[in-house]
Amino acid sequence: MLGIVLGGAGATTTNLIIPLIWKTSTYSALGPYFTLLLVSFSAHAIIRHRLMDIRLVVRRGSVYLIAATVAGGVFAAFLALVADLMGRHRQEVPLATEVLVALAVALAFQPLKSWIQGWLDRYLYRESYNYQQIIRDASRTVGSTLNLHTLLEYVSDVIARTCRPDLIAVVVRDPSDNSFRLAARRSFGDAATVFLDTLLASTHALPTFLEKARRPLIRDNMDRSADGAAATGAIAELSKLGGEFALPMFSEQHLLGFIMLGAKLSGDAYFNEDIELLSTLANQAAIAIKNAQLYREVVLVNEYVENILRTMDSGVITIDAVGKIVLSNSTAERLTSTTRDTLTRLNVEELPSVLSAQLKATLADGQPRLQTETSLPGPADRQTPLVCSTSALRDDIGVIIGALIVFSDLSNVKALENEKRRAERLASFGALVSGIAHEIKNPLVAIKTFAELLPERFSDSDFRDDFSKVVGTEIDRIDGLVGRLRSLAAPTPDAVAATDLREPISDTLSLLRGQFEFTQTTVERNLGSSQALVAIDPAQAKQLFLNLFLNAIEAMTPGGRLTVNLTRVSRHGTAWYQVAIRDTGPGIPESIRSKVFEPFFTTKTRGSGLGLAICRSIADAHKGTVRVETAQAGSGTAIVVEFPVGIAQALPKEQSALLR
C-alpha cells in the first residue's frame, strides 16, 4: 500500500499536477521512475513478510527455462542429424519427421524437467522434501509412540532431516512446578550451549508470548509493533537461547511446550512451506506428548499401586461390574493357594464362598462390610481364620463399577488371643482360689468348731439342735457357692438356636415383679415391635439378665427407676442388638470399673462377686460384649450388653473348651 501511494503520488505530480499548474512538461520524464517505488516496496513485502514464496517462483522458473532450453537444443540437433542422414537441407525435412521428433522431445521433457529440478534443488537449495509423505509418516509414528523420550527423538530427527537447522530443542512444561524444561536437544557445533542449564518459568517472556499469541515466533520475520513489548521480550529471549524460530505446542488450550529451531545450515530463511510443515508436526507432537505423559502417569500409578499391594500383609482382590477378577496381590495368591495368572482369569463365582459371597453382596447393594470374621478352607481340612472388609468401587457419578475385598490372616492374632486367654485364666486362677478358700473357710470353721465340741456336749440337746442348724446352713452355703462356680464355667452347647431377645428380658422382668413391688422400683422398657434375633441359649440369656436386674435393684434405694432399652446398632459394617440396663443408683467409681467383671470382686458386704463374672462368661460364649457405662459417681450405672445379629450358629469347639 505504501508503494502504491508513493508511486502514484509521484507519477501524478510529475505527469498531471505540474503540467496543469505550471504549464510545463519538463518533469514528465521522471514519472515512470516512480514505478520503481512500487516495485521496491512490493518486493520488500514479498521477501520480508513472505506474502509470496519467491523461492518457489525462482525455482520453478529456472527449472522450466533450463528444461526448455535443453529440450530446444536437443530438438534442433536431432533435426540436423536427421537431415544429414537423409542428405537434405534442414528446411527440406518432411513435416511428418519434424512432428515425430517433436513428440519424442515432448515425451522426454517431463523426466528431463524432474532431473533438472532435483539437480538444482541439490545444488541451490540443498534438498527438497515431500510434505504429504512426511506428514503421513509422522502421523503414523507419533500416534503409536508412548515413550516420551523416543517420541521427542523422532520429532527432532524428522525436523533435522527436513529443514536441517543448526539447533533443535524441544521444551516441555513440567507439571510439578509449571516450569519449562529441555526434554530433547540436537545441535550442530556450539549452537545453544546456553540451553544446557536454562530453566524457563511460565512467567518468562518467550512462553508467555507463545501462550498468548498462539502462533509461531520467527526472530527475523516478526512485526514487533503488533505485539509491542511482549514480542520484543520474547524475541530477545529467543535470541539469547540461540534460536531462530519457536513453534508452540498446545493441548486443550494450554501451552504444553514449544519447539525451538536455530538457523538453517543452508542459510535459507523459513518459508511458508516450512512453517506449515513444522506447525503440523508441532500439533501432532503436542497430542502425542500429552498421550505419552498420561501414559507415563498411568504407568507410575500402576507401579505405585503394585508396590503397595506387593508389600501388604493383607490379601486384596478387586472385581469389575460383571464379577470378573481384575486385580490381586501376592498375599491373596498365598491365602487362596492360587497363582496370580489363574486368579485374574477367574470369575467371582469361582472364588472361595467366604470371599465371593461378601463381594457379590457389596457389588449388589453398594454397602461396605467391615471387619467380618470368617474362615477360609484350606488343604487337609485346615481352616484359616480371616477378617474381611469389602467396599464398592464407583465412578465419578457414583455408579458401581466393581468391588474390593481386603482380607487378613488372623492365625497369629488368634494364637495371641489364646495365649492371652490362658494368661488371663492363670491370673484369675489365683484370685479364684483365694476367693474359694475365703468363702469356704468361714463355714468350715463353724462346722469344725461344732465338731470339736460335739463329743463333750453330745448329750446337750440345745447344742445338738444348734449344731444341726449351723452345719446344714453352712453346707447349703458351700453348695450354693459351688453351684455359682459351676455357672461361671458352664459349658455352652455346640449349637444354639436363634432367640428373640425380647422374650428372656420380658420373662425375667415378670419373674422379678415381686422384687420391684417390694422395693417400689419403677420399670421402663423399650423393646421395640420387631424381633431381635440373636444366637444365644434362652436359659443362659435369662440368667444373664437376672443377674443384671438384681444388681440394679440392690444398687438403688427404694423408689428407684430401672430402664431397659433394646436397639439395633451398626458398628464397622456389622449389625448388633444392644440392651442398655440403666439404674438410678450411686454409680460405680472409675477406679474400680475395670474390676467389676472379675470373679469374687464385690463391693457388697455379703456378695460373692460372681454375678457380673457369670454375665461376662455368658456374653463371651455367645460372641457378645458387656461393659459398664458410668458418667460419674452419683449419676447411676448403665450396663450395656451387645450381641451380633444372626441366626442359629455353631460355636467353635476350642471356644467351648476355653469356657470350661
- What are 331-375's pLDDT values in tens digits? 888 888 888 788 878 888 888 888 888 898 898 888 888 888 888
pLDDT of residue 139 exceeding 80, the answer is yes
Between CA 563 and CA 555 the distance in angstroms is 14
Whose CA is closest to 113, among 63, 61, 65?
63
Question: What are the φ/ψ torsions at residue 371 (nearest 5 degrees)?
Answer: 50, 50
On average, the pLDDT of the chain sits at: 78
Residue 226 has pLDDT above 80, yes or no: no
Instruction: Tell whether the model's pLDDT for residue 32 goes beyond 70.
Output: yes
Q: Indicate where the chain has its CATH 3.30.450.20 domain(s).
A: 314-403
CA geometry: angle 274, 275, 277, nearest 5 deg: 65
| 110 contact partners, CB below 8 Å, separation of at least 6 | none
Residue 659's pLDDT is 36
CA distances from 330 to 300, 338, 343, 376, 391 (A): 20, 10, 11, 17, 20
Q: Which fold has domain 414-488?
A: Helix Hairpins (1.10.287)
Q: Which of 231-245, 261-275, 608-622 has the lowest mean pLDDT?
A: 608-622
Tell me which of 3.40.50.410, 1.10.3210.10, 3.30.565.10, 3.40.710.10 is the CATH number of domain 495-659.
3.30.565.10
DSSP-assigned letter for residue 598:
S
Q: Name the range with the highest mean pLDDT among 193-197, 255-259, 468-472.
A: 255-259
Q: Who's near 24: CB < 8 A, 6+ residues apart? A: 18
**pLDDT tens, 85-131?**
776 666 666 777 777 777 777 777 667 666 666 666 555 544 556 77
558, 607 contact by CB (below 8 A): no
- Alpha helices (runs of H) in 125-147, residue ranges in sequence order: 131-143
C-alpha to C-alpha distance for 249 and 303, rounded to whole angstroms: 29
**Measured distance CA(647)–CA(310) in Å, rounded:** 38
pLDDT of residue 660: 36
* 408 pLDDT above the threshold of 60: yes
User: What does the DSSP assignment read for 338-355?
Assistant: --HHHHTT-BGGGS-HHH
Q: CATH number of the domain at 314-403, please?
A: 3.30.450.20
Which tens digits make up the pLDDT trace of 62-94?
A: 666 776 777 777 777 777 777 777 766 666 667
| Predicted pLDDT of residue 650 | 40
What whole-number percentage of the chain has pLDDT above 70? 76
Please report the pLDDT score of residue 3 as a whole number.
86
C-alpha dist (Å) from residue 196 to 14, 193, 240? 61, 6, 13
* CATH 3.30.565.10 intervals, the chain: 495-659
- Split at pLDDT 50, 70, 90, the class of 57 is low
Q: Are 29 and 35 in contact (CB under 8 A)?
A: no
3-state secondary structure 206-219: HHHHHHHHCCCEEC
| CATH 3.30.450.40 intervals, the chain | 145-297
CATH number listed for the domain at residues 145-297: 3.30.450.40
The burial of 518, by beta-carbon neighbours within 10 Å (0-12 exposed, 13-18 middle, 19 or more buried), is given as exposed
Q: Are 614 and 591 in contact (CB under 8 A)?
A: no
SS3 of 191, please?
Answer: coil
- What values do phi and psi take at 632, rounded to 5? -165, 165
User: What pLDDT score was predicted for residue 636?
Assistant: 81
Better-scored residue on pLDDT, 493 or 257: 257
The alpha carbon dihedral of 354, 359, 364, 368 has a sign of positive
* pLDDT for the residue 639: 86
Q: For residue 495, what is the enclosing H or E element?
A: strand 495-496
Report the range of poorest mean pLDDT among 25-29, 266-270, 656-660: 656-660
Residues of the chain with CATH 1.10.287.130: 414-488
Q: What is the pLDDT of residue 248?
A: 92
pLDDT at 163 over 70: yes
